[in-house]
Amino acid sequence: MGLGECHFCIELENGTEMGGNDLGLEEEPKTMAIEDAVKVLLQSLGEDINREGIKKTPLRVAKALREGTRGYKQKVKDIVQGALFPEVGLHDEVGYVPSGERVVGLSKLSRVADVFAKRLQDPQRLADEICSALHLGINPAGVAVVLQCLHIHFPNLDSVSHDSNHQGWIKVHVSSSSGVFENENALAWGDFMGLLKFRGVKVEKIPTRDCRTKSWCPSYCSSELVAANPGMVAAVASILRSLGEDPSRKELLQTPGHFVNWLMNFQNTKLNGFPCGTKPLVKSAGEFSDNHQQMHSELNLAFWSQCEHHLLPFHGVVHIGYMCPEGCNPIEKCLLQSIVHYYGFKLQVQERLSRQIAETVSSITGGDTMVVVEAYHTCMISRGIEKFGSNTATIAVTGRFSTDSADRAMFLDRIPNIAAPGVVVTT
């Protein structure tokens, strides 16, 4: 989508202000409005907003959303104009071609990108905004932006039950250009692509608007919009307004409905297909002896869940190990995957998810179970440490696994590349 220069002239001069008062963030009207809207969403999901685990969720969500969209109140002009300095004989090595022997400090390029990234965006709009802001701000001979985006392809409950090979991340490439870069066959593009290759960035060809897929969001294009709860839709629209957005903007018209339909995957109801409270299901394959226990394991069971603290998704894999008498049939993988989905598609925290899976499997096996959950949390990427690729691992154990370090070590050895940092053990 093309964006007019007037939009960026205003952006460069004024920025976009959000609630310019001296109140603390928690006491600002916009924060409190988001809190009220989140309470509506939680209650519509069947949650008790006074439950200890989510009592502070409305405030956490409000603070996370406002922090994650702080770009609305930042001024590009303050970043760009204050970072220009003269440099004679500089060449095109940083994604733009200088003019007038003026360049911008390299650290400011990432800050300009961050201003627009910390807003509600789609990839092409983000690339266009970064490109236009730099072009208007420093007036170079040309600017090129290649954007690599990773999107969580978060399934709905129905689709994940039938797709064992569901991809967790989908990569999207988009580009935007101005000046000497507008011709994709220009020498400047060749130099820039060569620099990207030198830096280890794999882009086979210049992504253009014509080759861009119709829908950049895999979750958006894979689901049909059905009638959503009007109260929840109104609550999401209220959140958008509180963040400084216009819910009537063309690109956001269907956002409240899509978000509500996705959020309903985590409604606090019992899921079909999982026999809660069943008797042990491990049946004999012949004679067996209780004196000889054998370890079984099922690794890399995919899960998707929703953090109950920030209403942001987290996903990963579950590894399950358990002991049963020699001669017993192992638990079928489909049952273990059903258990994982049952507890995953809820508002959750990773520690409780690990414990609930371990306790349920333990009730089937007779008591000796170990569960390792490795997860990627959106809240660690979009806020807080903002560390992409951060992985957390939690361990839950029952029975002999809680006392026998040799059995724990044996099971952990079966798991490939388990992350050592940040491991939490629960018993």
d(CA 173, CA 152): 15
CB atoms within 10 A of CB 301: 22
More confident of the two residues 97 and 407: 407
d(CA 313, CA 38): 15
Residue 54 DSSP code: T
Q: Is it the case that residue 72 has pLDDT exceeding 50?
A: yes
Task: Check residue 242 and give its pLDDT.
Answer: 94
∠ at Cα 129 (153, 176), nearest 5°? Answer: 75
∠ at Cα 253 (252, 255), nearest 5°? Answer: 60
Q: What is the value of pTM for the model shown?
A: 0.76
CB atoms within 10 A of CB 151: 16
Give the H/E segment covering residue 335: helix 333-344
| Residue 396 near residue 354 (C-beta atoms within 8 A) | yes
pLDDT band, very low/low/confident/very high, at 180 (cuts 50, 70, 90): confident
Q: Is it the case that residue 120 has pLDDT exceeding 70?
A: yes
Q: Is it the case that residue 17 has pLDDT exceeding 50?
A: no
Place of tokens 């789609």: 122
What domains can be seen in the chain, in order of their start residue?
5-266 (3.30.1130.10), 284-426 (3.30.1130.10)
Place of tokens 């998704």: 313
| Residue 293 near residue 411 (C-beta atoms within 8 A) | no
Instruction: Dig out the tokens for 301 from the structure.
Output: 């069971």
| Residue 326 near residue 288 (C-beta atoms within 8 A) | yes
d(CA 329, CA 53): 38
State the pairing for strand pair 169-179/102-104: unpaired
Task: Check residue 366 and give its pLDDT.
Answer: 84
d(CA 294, CA 288): 11
The DSSP result for 365-404, as a single string, is: HTS-EEEEEEEEEHHHHHSTT--TT--EEEEEEEGGGGT-
| Residue 167 near residue 161 (C-beta atoms within 8 A) | no
More confident of the two residues 161 and 191: 191
pLDDT band, very low/low/confident/very high, at 68 (cuts 50, 70, 90): confident
Give me the mean pLDDT over the 214-228 stretch.
59
